[in-house]
Structure 1
């Protein structure tokens, strides 16, 4: 296949947004390529079906880490969606925008193009929010965003405890005020069904004759003529072929896959590439470096009274919940992974919240690897510092495009991160001690009272911690010459190649990355189309 103006490698949150935006002009031919299948798995649409999808290797990339002290000496697995919609088809559906200060900080190390004054309008353009339009919230965009419908006495107590901590209860926790908050969180759910990037952005665009969508087609590498990208080599049904492009190739594989595509294409550290027999197209030592991820810890409690949702996920009540979902698209199976959240400071003197707590009215059975709920009533939270300063790395160890790259997370490498991790847990325990929540709690069961000192809390993170599935930074965007990508998303040292996804973020916006990825991709489309217009005028 030849003649495309843009080839987009990866149909995740960024790729679907770009396909939607770029193909809106019928004169622009776009090819969107996804390694996984179409998003027809029946449990993708059901919000609480995510556990079933996350257990299906056909729909996932599974990246294994090198064992290290910060993962308790074990190998940790980070999974990503391998399906239309990418990780937005398998994630927890929380919609967290990040705060203006996060994007203004990104703009400081990149360019003014990424400041909140541009990202705020991008959010407004892409959203169709249940709460309606305001200064930055949109009501007419492709992405349907809704508020939780399942509310109970335990959730009320959890919010009240946050208010007792001095955190304002907000109707919209994404209000762009850089402040603390507690409340119900928006979800990418509409009428009981997941709103993945494929559902929101790709479905409306697929009817366009100028958009070609290829599934079960793995991008191996970018093909170059000299230093200009001319297409991609793909592996499809066991056959290699080259898909040509006379415009630009846009890599949207995410923080885990995009550096791998660049390295297989000859862009990276020369010694690493030469060891794998890959000809060097451009030396770029930071490809695969600067990997940043949230390190979360689940804190869990046994309750005195049967107020939790545990009973709804077992026995005849589970059957009732499933039936309620299929009949009314409502109830526990129509809920996101977490529907309550809090944003707070881990210690005095900070100018804005530096930790996020996701709050649930149920508790996991750790003996069953969190694949089931406990048989007694319980609740839990997952808490993590928002802006880790530690940096890991991810690199290929083989030229096989179907082999997921391995990585080193390097959590808690800095004193700042260790202080924030300890502080976050202490704040969570203080929250659990507030009225009226404290009266409902019998005991903390995870990590438990044995993990009390600073060293013991850090040991709990190492032993029981989890990644946030929010990795960024591995193809860092910056205004400095060492950055992989320049502030207009073009890969330095070559022509006709861009990267647009979480890998280019030089920092994690404060919270989950689905929303920021969509907003930054929307903004990237503005820049790409503006650059196209500039070239056309010059010609």
Structure 2
């Protein structure tokens, strides 16, 4: 051990790496036992930026190096050689402090599929109690929702005519109304719910971590950058991290739990010598444990953005008019309502790209505004955005470190639209969007299709548009997948294959990405992981 690595910070029962969506849940649930000592390490800072707590503040916190890791993908042939920005939360709450606040769990069949792949305990009926355990549903308790959890889930506090028209138009195309996408069925059109309470964001940090910080057995360190997992043979014994300019060691008597996300968790494993041997050797890392699936199986939702100019007033008009903009601020200050409470989208649609499919395979996010990029200002004309994504893409990418230095960002190869089926769904999804725009409720107020434009007509042209006008919805998953095959990283109890005292609990463990937004499932994973850890502790 070098002279720079000999400061021992302390000894704990559990060390959780990452105070994000799942990590905050774990810190709370594990520290409920006053005899259990928990250390929570977060590489980012405190969540004291006021824009974090104002729902629409993601326009200010995304792509801001103070709160966002500001990752970028490698140039990707599938999207016309472009690099996409991948915001990830660099703050308490992780990406739940930056995201669009949308509360979507996925389809029942997603979790049944996980279980069918050999992951015992992960069927829909087995994970539903954990969704309910987290939730404080403003509509009340029923078979699908809970009211006693710390995570506030509420209806939107903003309605606009163009959004109502979009809902009606979708129904006119044959899509059923659905008031609850997290209930008995997901398919349909309706308004999102959001993780907010009385007009303020309810991040994982606010819901789970803040109350737990009162406990003396929970230690939180921010600006603590994890370098590697300490291993003695095939046993995880602690974490080496940087804190206040020094390298520190924290020892663990029970387990290390990685909750650093679909980028951070595989990066830490690879920097610790856990991964594919030839890749580790190529970047100067000694292989301590062969696990070729680390960083593989990367999945994300790619959205194709359609922007329609309209004669109907949209939020563009309110934001671009100085007096109206002032009124928006006053409305929020006085009543916590209005445009500053805007989630990433208002209207949601889950539907099928083809009629012969058994369940929805595409999702719409409809916003009553339009912009080229978040943070760059809205368009100077009335318009709305209808983004559509494929829910279960076949394309697979990978996360790989390019250096032994844990501060060096890894290579992100998303490989969007690399599978033929994904290209077909992209083309069909644009056609569905246009059918909605042609419906009676919308057609009279649409002036033109601003993006991609009506010059894209043939299937080949629509695929070209998908490659040129698509963006991530910021849903990276599956890089430490759960399973029993040769490429699995963790088992069904989230234990890393072949290493004692080490688990992963975040979106990276999803064997297949869920059919929808990923924040609620990540919180569920934290809840279920905490229960499994407690069960194993009692058994031991």
Task: Provide TM-score, normalisation by structure 1.
Answer: 0.96
2:141 to 122, 125, 133: 133
- Could you tell me how far apart the structure 2 residues matched to 1:173 and 1:165 are? 19
Q: Do structure 1's residue 334 and structure 2's residue 333 form an aligned pair? A: no
For residues 179-206 of structure 1, give each alpha carbon's deviation from its aligned partner in whole angstroms, at most 9, with x where no partner exists: 4211011101111111000000101111
Equivalent residue of 2:402, what SS?
coil
For residues 389-418 of structure 1, give each alpha carbon's deviation from its aligned partner in whole angstroms, at most 9, with x where no partner exists: 110011111122222212111111222111
1:321 to 310, 328, 332: 328
2:272 to 265, 275, 278: 265
Q: Do structure 1's residue 154 and structure 2's residue 148 form an aligned pair? A: no
Match of 2:5 in 1: none
In the TM superposition, what are the counterparts of 1:233-382 in structure 2 within 5 Å? 233-305=240-312, 307-314=313-320, 315-364=322-371, 366=372, 371-382=376-387
Match of 2:102 in 1: 94
Contact 1:447 1:460 in 2 (8 A): yes
2:422 to 417, 424, 442: 417
Match of 1:460 in 2: 465
Q: Do structure 1's residue 72 and structure 2's residue 83 form an aligned pair? A: no
Equivalent residue of 2:10, what SS?
coil
Q: Do structure 1's residue 434 and structure 2's residue 439 form an aligned pair? A: yes
- Could you tell me how far apart the structure 2 residues matched to 1:453 and 1:250 are? 49
2:192 to 185, 194, 203: 185
1:109 to 108, 117, 140: 117
Equivalent residue of 1:444, what SS?
strand
Q: Which ranges of structure 2 fall in alignment gaps of 5 or more residues?
A: 1-8
Contact 2:144 2:182 in 1 (8 A): no
2:399 to 377, 394, 408: 394
Match of 1:530 in 2: 535
1:515 to 512, 515, 520: 520
Contact 1:70 1:461 in 2 (8 A): no
Match of 1:469 in 2: 474
Contact 2:430 2:462 in 1 (8 A): yes
Equivalent residue of 2:46, what SS?
coil
How many corresponding residue pairs?
531
1:22 to 3, 25, 30: 30
How far residue 369 of structure 1 moved from its aligned partner, in angstroms, is 6.9
Task: Provide TM-score, normalisation by structure 2.
Answer: 0.96
Q: Do structure 1's residue 84 and structure 2's residue 92 form an aligned pair? A: yes
How far residue 152 of structure 1 moved from its aligned partner, in angstroms, is 2.5
Equivalent residue of 2:136, what SS?
strand
How far residue 518 of structure 1 moved from its aligned partner, in angstroms, is 0.7
How far residue 433 of structure 1 moved from its aligned partner, in angstroms, is 0.8
For residues 506-526 of structure 1, give each alpha carbon's deviation from its aligned partner in whole angstroms, at most 9, with x where no partner exists: 111111100011112211111
Contact 2:119 2:491 in 1 (8 A): no
Equivalent residue of 2:121, what SS?
helix
Which shifted more, 210-219 or 49-58? 49-58
How far residue 277 of structure 1 moved from its aligned partner, in angstroms, is 2.3
Q: Which ranges of structure 1 fall in alignment gaps of 5 or more residues?
A: none
For residues 330-372 of structure 1, give each alpha carbon's deviation from its aligned partner in whole angstroms, at most 9, with x where no partner exists: 11001211121000000121111000001111122x3x77621
Q: Which structure 1 residue ranges, 4+ long, deviate > 3 Å from structure 2? A: none
For residues 85-112 of structure 1, give each alpha carbon's deviation from its aligned partner in whole angstroms, at most 9, with x where no partner exists: 0000001110101111111111111423
For residues 293-313 of structure 1, give each alpha carbon's deviation from its aligned partner in whole angstroms, at most 9, with x where no partner exists: 1111110101123x2121221
Aligned-residue CA RMSD (Å): 1.3
